Amino acid sequence: MKEKKHKVLFVCLGNICRSPAAEGIFRHKVESRGLADRFEIDSAGTYGGHAGELPDARMRAAASHRGYTLTHRSRKLTDDDFLHFDMVVVMDDSNYERSSRIAPDRESQNKLYRMTDFRRKYVWDHIPDPYYEGAEGFELVLDLLEDCLEGLLEHLCPTEIQG
Ligand code: 4NP
């Protein structure tokens, strides 16, 4: 029997820094474990002002140094996303509130998760917005995302990734 895909949407504010990085890192993790056909992965932003743009050049450069190629085009989160995806994973409290207002009903709101719900070794309770920060802000975001996304993969595929 064919297993149902996990449909995961990552959400931040502009969909040019944190959420496209999360999408690229998570895609890399599932592909390297041979689990790509078990997942549908995408990202979106609660603010549509960067729609159509590639990720921020600073984030693309930092991600590329770690082996991730980010090609997503920014788009705004829609109410339909909550009907299609199983999990909508946000980066901070502001994303949570804005996404919650876009969610069409209570069942949709129950699909909202915080990225840091899946953290393993860091104690951060949000993924900080790097947009107005220097290079170290982007490195911190990637460190946190790599940790939390390993936790998310373990949560969704506990038996497949043992060892
Ligand atoms: P992101 O970062 O939410 O991680 O994509 C930001 C991108 C753009 C803006 C703020 C944060 N902005 O104000 O345009």
CA of 93 to the centre of ligand 1 (A): 14
Mutate to test the pocket of ligand 1, among 11, 15, 47, 142 (most ligand atoms within 8 A of CB): 47
**Residue 163 has what pLDDT?**
52
Instruction: Please report the pLDDT score of residue 162 as a whole number.
Output: 67
All structural domains of the chain, each given as residue ranges with its CATH number in brackets, are 6-158 (3.40.50.2300)
Kindly give the confidence (pLDDT) of every residue in the chain, 163 residues in length, as a single tens digit, with 9 standing for 90 and above.
Answer: 678 999 999 999 999 999 999 999 999 999 999 999 999 999 999 999 999 999 999 999 999 999 999 999 999 999 999 999 999 999 999 999 999 999 999 999 999 999 999 999 999 999 999 999 999 999 999 999 999 999 999 999 998 876 5
Sequential DSSP letters for the chain: -PPPPEEEEEEESSSSSHHHHHHHHHHHHHHHTT-GGGEEEEEEES--TTTTPPSPHHHHHHHHHTT--------B--HHHHHH-SEEEESSHHHHHHHHHHS-SHHHHTTEEEGGGG-SS---SS----TTS-HHHHHHHHHHHHHHHHHHHHHH-TTTT--
